[in-house]
Structure formats: structure tokens, C-alpha cells
Amino acid sequence: MIGSLMMRTSAVILVIGMIWGIEMGIRQDFAMAPAHAHFNLVGGVLLFVFGLYYRLVPAAGDSALAQWQGRLHIAGAVLFPVGVAIVIGKGEAFIVLPIVGSLIVLAAVALFGLIVFRTSRA
Ligand code: HEM
């Protein structure tokens, strides 16, 4: 079930993201803070909340669109912050990575909005 995959992936991302934060604190180098923040928020918080909606509303989670939405969100949630980190570390030559990653996340969130509109009638 896509909701379970999303929540499990989110839990793994949060553990990695928090270790990343601790590592920044230990090194007293906060250059990667924007990448860390987006990893935790897009990949941790949003992914978990969306996955939870799919578990709570089976009509949404069972749809073919939700399978696409969840996988797209997971891909974007990794590519976007990792792309930001690569640009911070290696330079603007890699800007295409966070641009593509952010567009994937945008598409995934827009798809989620569509699914919510279709399935959240009281
Ligand atoms: C063990 C857990 C965590 C640690 C040790 C940690 C550590 C840090 C550190 C050291 C910074 C940089 C602060 C600075 O620039 O002065 C930071 C920034 C930030 N963190 Fe975390 N963090 C943790 C978990 C989280 C989680 C769970 C979230 C979101 C769900 C989060 C969101 C953010 C945000 C939004 C920023 C600001 C980014 C920016 O200013 O560009 N962090 N964190």
C-alpha cells in the first residue's frame, strides 16, 4: 500500500535528516542547513502526512493516481534536497538537480491536491 511505503520512507528520511542536523552542529558548519531543512520537511513531514491521508482514506490511497503521486513525491523529496546540498558543496554547475527536484515535488504536491479534492467530500 502506497501510504505505508510513504510513512516508512518518511521515518527513514527523518532519522537521516536528524543525524545530518547533529553532524552540522558537531562541525559547527551550517552551510547545509537549507538542504537539511527541505529533506526533513518535504521528505519527513509532508511525506508522512500524505501517506497518513492515504491510510485514513482508502478511496484515495487505493487509486492509481496515488501510486504515482507517492512515488513521485519520494523521488522529488530525495532529489530536491540532495540537489541543494550538491549545489552548496560543488557549485552552480549542478543547479539543474534542485530545479528538476523542486518541479517533481511541485507536481507531486499538485497531484496530492487533486486527490484530496476528489476524495475529501464530507
Ligand atoms: C536531531 C534533530 C535535528 C537537529 C540536530 C537539527 C539541527 C539543525 C541545525 C544545526 C540547523 C542550522 C541552524 C543554523 O543555521 O544556525 C538546522 C536548521 C533547520 N532545521 Fe534542523 N535539526 C533537526 C531536526 C529537524 C527537523 C525534524 C526539521 C523539520 C521537520 C528541521 C528543520 C530545520 C529548519 C527549517 C532549519 C532552518 C534552515 C535554514 O535556516 O536554512 N530540523 N537544524
Higher pLDDT, 69 or 121: 69
Residue 40 has a pLDDT of 98
Distance CA 8, CA 2 (A): 10
As a whole number, mean pLDDT of residues 65-92 equals 98
| Pocket test residue of 40, 49, 80 for ligand 1, highest count of atoms within 8 A of CB | 40
Which sequence spans correspond to the domains of the chain?
2-119
Confidence of residue 121 (pLDDT cuts 50, 70, 90): confident
Residue 72 has a pLDDT of 98
In the predicted model, is pLDDT for residue 122 greater than 90?
A: no
Alpha carbon of 32 to ligand 1 centroid (Å): 10
In the predicted model, is pLDDT for residue 110 greater than 80?
A: yes
